[in-house]
Structure 1
Amino acid sequence: MTGWRQWLLARFLAKRQPAASQCRLGNANIYILPTAFGYAFLALVMAIFLLGTNYQNNLVLLLAFFLISLFTTSMYFTHRNLAGLTLHRLALEPQVAGDDLRLDLQADGKGHWGLEFCYGQGPVRKSDVDGLKRLVLLAPPGVRGRHRPGRLTVACRFPLGLFRAWSYPDLDQELLLYPRPEPWQRGLGVDLDKGAVQGQHHGEDDWQGLKNYQPGDPLKRVAWKQLAQGRGMWSKEFARPEQDSRWLRLSEIKGATLEQRLARLAWLVLDSDQRQAQYGLDLGGVKINLGSGHGHCRRCLEALACYGEPA
């Protein structure tokens, strides 16, 4: 489809089917046309009708009338198969730029058979909906940042394949795409603050004391001497110095393009999180203080994903 046709279609759909978190399909937003098989079937019916008229054969005319009634009845049931279907938006988790997008939605309805779902040029997911059903669809990859997958295409050819009914609901979905991590070792661009040791990390280097035994503690840590003395179950607790803190600065990351530098920073964030290190992120205008854990890692990746976008 050419650019101006896409623009006209987008304007038409924006008024006809505005974006919403929930969409119920009905007469106002379902479109229907014969398929290629349907047009061929109609041409065959017309030929049979002309043949019966030319030879004044009532049986041939009866066959033509039966087939045309079958054609119109098929149109009704194809439209009805799509009407009444309700689609609900579901929250989307952040994903990685460059991968096929995984988009979740929920369909609700009774007796909707042979439905086809797809986003843009993505693969078609065929499914029946008879009740509440969660669907996972794939869409073409997107670029880093906040991404809108656009309109969903829902279609069906049930029951005879003579007609295709379809709709273009927009569930107003948005997801965040992280930079694709690029492994990088040389010139890490990381400052290790040697004096940033702020506590102790539980490990197995130095014995620290005893703690109440918790189910799942390794048997090698059980204080057997105290148990033998009748003092109950205790576990030995060890400590070692916490890892050094590190600052990840965009200005110190080398790369041919900004996207490559952000991809390398994303890898460093994930690497630091895996090592359970204290780390901070400095993107110039955006700074995230030292921290650790899953929530801190997610905040850093979100900052990388949104870097350069208007607030």
Structure 2
Amino acid sequence: MVRIIDRLQQQFRQRVWRWLDARQPSAAQVRLQQKFMFVFPTRFGFGIGALVLLLYILGTNYQNNLILLLAYLLLVLLISTIVLAFLNLHHCELSARPLADVFAGQNAAILLSLQRRTGSPQALDAGWLHPARLTAVDGATVVLELPAPQRGYFAIPRLRLQSVYPFGLVRCWCYVQLDCRYWVFPAPIPAPFTGDQADPNQNDAEEWSGQRQYQPGDPWRQLDWKRFSRQQQLLVHQFSATTLPGTDLWLSADPRLRTLEAQLSDLTERAIRAEQAQQPFGLRRTPTDIAVGSGPAHLRQVLQALALW
């Protein structure tokens, strides 16, 4: 029985989201309109409505004009609150952008901007549909945090705006889908071993940092003979202590790491370390490699490739 109820609730939610998608398609900038705004009384509003009904019944039964006048005044107040709550959000323009790229396990910071011709909305709360946590908006901008547990290139979830302006009698809210995406790079975690495990004859090697093409004069003990036997390509293991100045560093997945996520985290760590050391580096991946380069733009290109690996 519980499963049937959960399934029916899920189907109902999916229909509601499809209906909202049809009425408000995803866009970089959205102006709030009446076709996807909702107004409903709060508990206090329902209490005022019940009080109006009670006063009206008492006033008509006892033919007391003062009680009827009070009931009509409260009814006018309730109706005026509905109009003011709607106008508080109506024609408000929304846009969003990520403040910075993040690594897996961090929180992505999304800057939400609100603009309106006649001042800013009052008593406004904003947040994500999932997770359902609202933040008070004080001014024309607000920063909303979004958990980023996995790497990739993601679109922000549906945004929820709500306000109980002006007296808390009614709640005006809407669900807005903004066209905003953010990058989540693999978490930079170094490999749990050092480069000496790649070569038993190299006792003083530091952490393995990648491979590059063989050049005359390179130590033969650093050659990757396994890859040479498979692909007839002569590559040299590079370590942080043996990277020569002026040479290009090629980053490739460390086969000693068993999981893909561990390999990507290690590649992220080595790419950041190479950029900090101003060492030109490239990335070997399928189907195409990323050429050797340096600078923040090149590092971001490599991290984006790792995020989508």
The two structures share one fold, judged by TM-score above 0.5: yes
Deviation at 1:243?
Answer: 5.5
Q: Which one of 117, 136, 150 corresponds to residue 126 of structure 1? A: 136
Which runs of no fewer than 5 residues in structure 1 stay unpaired?
A: 198-240
For 1:15, what is the secondary structure of its paired residue?
helix
Where does residue 97 of structure 1 map in the other structure?
A: 104
Aligned AA for 1:272? Answer: A
Verify: 1:116 aligned to 2:117, yes or no: no
Deviation at 1:194?
Answer: 7.4
Verify: 1:84 aligned to 2:91, yes or no: yes
Q: How many residues align?
A: 260
| 1:97-151 deviation per Cα after TM superposition (whole angstroms, max 9, x unaligned) | 222221123211123211111122254222255xxx3332222335211101122
Q: Is the 2:98–2:109 Cα contact (8 Å) retained in structure 1?
A: no
Where does residue 200 of structure 2 map in the other structure?
A: none
Verify: 1:184 aligned to 2:199, yes or no: no
Distance of 2:209 and 2:182 partners within structure 1? 30
Aligned AA for 1:30? Answer: M
Cα RMSD (Å)? 2.5
For 2:11, what is the secondary structure of its paired residue?
helix
Where does residue 248 of structure 2 map in the other structure?
A: 245
Aligned AA for 1:258? Answer: L
Task: State which drifts further: 170-179 or 54-63.
Answer: 54-63
| 1:167-194 deviation per Cα after TM superposition (whole angstroms, max 9, x unaligned) | 1121211122111111325143623667
Distance of 1:280 and 1:172 partners within structure 2? 32
For 2:168, what is the secondary structure of its paired residue?
coil
Q: Is the 2:156–2:178 Cα contact (8 Å) retained in structure 1?
A: no
For 1:260, what is the secondary structure of its paired residue?
helix
Aligned AA for 2:126? Answer: F
Distance of 1:146 and 1:74 partners within structure 2? 42
| 1:182-229 deviation per Cα after TM superposition (whole angstroms, max 9, x unaligned) | 1325143623667499xxxxxxxxxxxxxxxxxxxxxxxxxxxxxxxx
For 1:180, what is the secondary structure of its paired residue?
coil
Higher helix share: 2
User: 1:1-311 to 2 correspondence within 5 Å?
Assistant: 2-90=9-97, 93-109=100-116, 110-111=118-119, 112-120=121-129, 121=131, 123-129=133-139, 133-184=140-191, 186-187=193-194, 188=208, 190-191=210-211, 195=215, 242=245, 244-250=247-253, 252=255, 254-255=257-258, 257-307=259-309
Q: Is the 1:95–1:177 Cα contact (8 Å) retained in structure 2?
A: yes
Deviation at 1:162?
Answer: 0.7
For 1:168, what is the secondary structure of its paired residue?
strand
Q: Is the 2:186–2:268 Cα contact (8 Å) retained in structure 1?
A: yes
Higher strand share: 1
Question: Would the alpha carbon gap of residues 291 and 277 (structure 1) be closer, same or farther in structure 2, given more than 3 Å must change?
Answer: same
Aligned AA for 2:252? Answer: R
Deviation at 1:6?
Answer: 2.4
Which runs of no fewer than 5 residues in structure 2 stay unpaired?
A: 1-5, 195-207, 218-243
For 1:66, what is the secondary structure of its paired residue?
helix
Question: Would the alpha carbon gap of residues 74 and 243 (structure 1) be closer, same or farther in structure 2, given more than 3 Å must change?
Answer: same
Q: Runs ≥4 in structure 1, deviation > 4 angstroms?
A: 192-197
